[in-house]
Amino acid sequence: MENLHSSPESITPISALIITYNEEASIARCIRSLEKVADEIIVIDSFSTDDTAKICHDLGVTFIEHRFEGHIQQKNFAITQANHDYCLSLDADEELNDEAIQSILSLKNNFSADGYTINRRNNYCGTWVKHSGWYPDRKLRLWHKKKGTWQGVNPHDSFKMDHGSSTGHIQGELKHYTVASLSAHVQQINYFTDIAAEELQKKGKRASLCDILLRPPFKFFRDYVLKLGFLDGLAGLMIAANSSHSVFLKYSKLYYLQRHEKAS
């Protein structure tokens, strides 16, 4: 894909990276926000069965199919496909707001740090969440590709800068459309806790009955009371309840995985 901006040599080009699987509902919105700041847009797709590929091809981005081995692995593979040193990573259900776009365009004239964070605002079932531990939800999403890697425990990834790297902050927000309905959230929780439990088992982590009994209520109390989730109304209650349920499922699944491992 040719550069989206024909820019003088003083302007630093950016590679935008997205990983996808069946993202036909949101990928166009994500790409259109990136078109305003990126010099190339690369989509790494895990063999989608919907119209994700068609939408990406119609929008003229670089579309690469690659076998999915985990969120962290997929995002690190995406970095290897970037032609420019600075990479901007978005999930398919995210988009930059206007202020963030202008901030990044200004940065391209003078990158003064190795990596940049941005505040992410999450939309839960149509409501923009202001508390519940979900805002400002600061994420490191723009960085020099030789200054760090994606790390964490799947499916929860984060970009970690190398020791001694400098960081700045992007003004504006990353808008994140988390889930459109309660049923979609429940399905997402079940899927993500399967991955999380398996990853914890691989790392040798153990789950006890105390983890199953104590961690979920503490998670609810933290998000709903300490993180002021009650100020988000019904959305805050649903987030706290489902987050607590997610913790319960993760440690319950890990507990049964280790029991099965011991029996076999």
CA 20 to chain centre: 11
User: pTM of the prediction?
Assistant: 0.89
Domain-by-domain residue ranges, the chain?
A: 14-179, 182-263
CA 121 to chain centre: 12
CA 151 to chain centre: 12
CATH architecture observed for domain 14-179: Alpha-Beta Complex (3.90)
For residues 154-187, one letter each, b for 16 or more C-beta atoms within 10 angstroms of the residue's C-beta and e for the rest, the string is bbebebbbeeeeeeeebebbbbbbbbeeeeebee
Q: What is the pLDDT of residue 10?
A: 74
For residues 233-242, one letter each, b for 16 or more C-beta atoms within 10 angstroms of the residue's C-beta and e for the rest, the string is eebbbbbbbb
* CA torsion through residues 88, 159, 135, 181, sign: positive
Neighbours of 191 (CB within 10 A): 11
Nearest-CA neighbor of 91 among 208, 171, 178, 150? 178
Q: At 3, is the pLDDT very low, low, confident or very high (cuts 50, 70, 90)?
A: very low
Residue 105 and residue 113: Cα distance in Å, rounded? 15
Q: Which two tokens stand for residue 109?
A: 């004239």
- Tens-place pLDDT, residues 163-214: 999 999 999 999 999 999 999 999 999 999 999 999 999 999 999 999 999 9
Neighbours of 217 (CB within 10 A): 12
Percent of the chain exceeding pLDDT 70 equals 97
- Which SS3 state, helix, strand or coil, does residue 129 take? coil
Is residue 253 pLDDT above 90, yes or no?
yes
CB 124 within 8 A of CB 178: yes
Q: What is the pLDDT of residue 4?
A: 52
DSSP state of 231: G
